Amino acid sequence: MRVLAVANQKGGVGKTTTTVNLGAALAEAGRRSLVVDLDPQGSLTASLDLRIAEDGYSTYDAIVDGEPLARTVLPTGVENLSACPSDPSLAGVDLELAAEFRDPKRRASRLRESLAAFSRSDSATTEFVLLDCPPSLGLLTVNALVAADSVLVPMQCEFFAMQGLSRLLDTVARIGESWNPDLQLFGVFFTMVDRRMNLSRQVIAEVRRGLGRQVLEAEVPRSVRLAEAPSFGLPVQLYDPGSKAVAAYSKLAREVLSR
């Protein structure tokens, strides 16, 4: 089971869209995949129209109360793709875990423990787990980084992109040193690209100069169909199979599969 955290503390850069559509692309390639909503805003939960049953659980219950992650897993409309929904109480995780666990490492390892138990019990043999992080470097993102094998960083082509990136990479490096020595940067992935704009081309060129091969080949163009798909509760693969965004996420999936 490979665990990929989709993280960037900057809001609205395409984390959730990438989690949903990369998950769907991996599932379409025949790989059993699980997407996990770690954001109290619940955008992934809404994007896939996940409904928690009356007696059902969310990622909050798994992280705070230690409920088995398997109890939160729901099917999606896509074969081979399942999902763990969040709920708004996830916003209180920092305070609740701080009250419950004195040891900062234990607080940061809740999701890692939960995924390890899931992996042991998982008869469906999930191959890929994608963690949709909230737009902050708080305890939820830290839990994702401690649980992950690698980090995928979606990024928008804008002037300040590089600045936020160095803070994120510092955090990744610090967590790697202290709590998760195997953590790797999988790569930076450009979203909402408009190649007609000089700025887009300049930003991509600058980031490539700085990071070299850590910038992925795949990039997703700005796409109205991609932005519309969540309101239908569908990944773009099902909403508009012929769109350029589908091709872009399939290319990203191939990069994930080949590394």
For residue 115, the partner it binds in Mg ion, ligand ATP, none, with Cβ less than 5 to 8 A by kind, is none
Identify which of 156, 197, 161 has the alpha carbon closest to the alpha carbon of residue 13. 156
Residue 57 CB partners (closer than 8 Å, separation 6+): 67, 71, 72
Choose, by CB under 6 A, the member of 17, 45, 59, 114 that binds ligand ATP: 17
Residue 226 touches ligand ATP, criterion: CB under 6 A: yes
What region, left, alpha or beta, does residue 80 occupy, with left being phi > 0 and alpha being psi -120 to 50 degrees? left
Within residues 23-82, the interface with Mg ion by CB under 5 A covers 43
Within residues 176-205, the interface with ligand ATP by CB under 6 A covers 191-192
Identify which of 143, 131, 178, 122 has the alpha carbon closest to the alpha carbon of residue 18. 131
Report CA dihedral (248, 217, 145, 21) to the nearest 10 degrees: 0
Choose, by CB under 6 A, the member of 3, 13, 115, 152 that binds ligand ATP: 13
Residue 191 touches Mg ion, criterion: CB under 5 A: no
How distant, in Å, are the alpha carbons of 76, 120, 129, 159 from that of 111?
Answer: 22, 14, 12, 34
Closer by beta carbon to ligand ATP, 118 or else 133: 133
Closest contact distance (angstroms) between CB of 163 and ligand ATP is 16
Site string for Mg ion, 72-91 (x = CB under 5 A): --------------------
Residue 39 touches ligand ATP, criterion: CB under 6 A: yes
Contacting residues toward Mg ion, per CB under 5 A: 15-16, 43
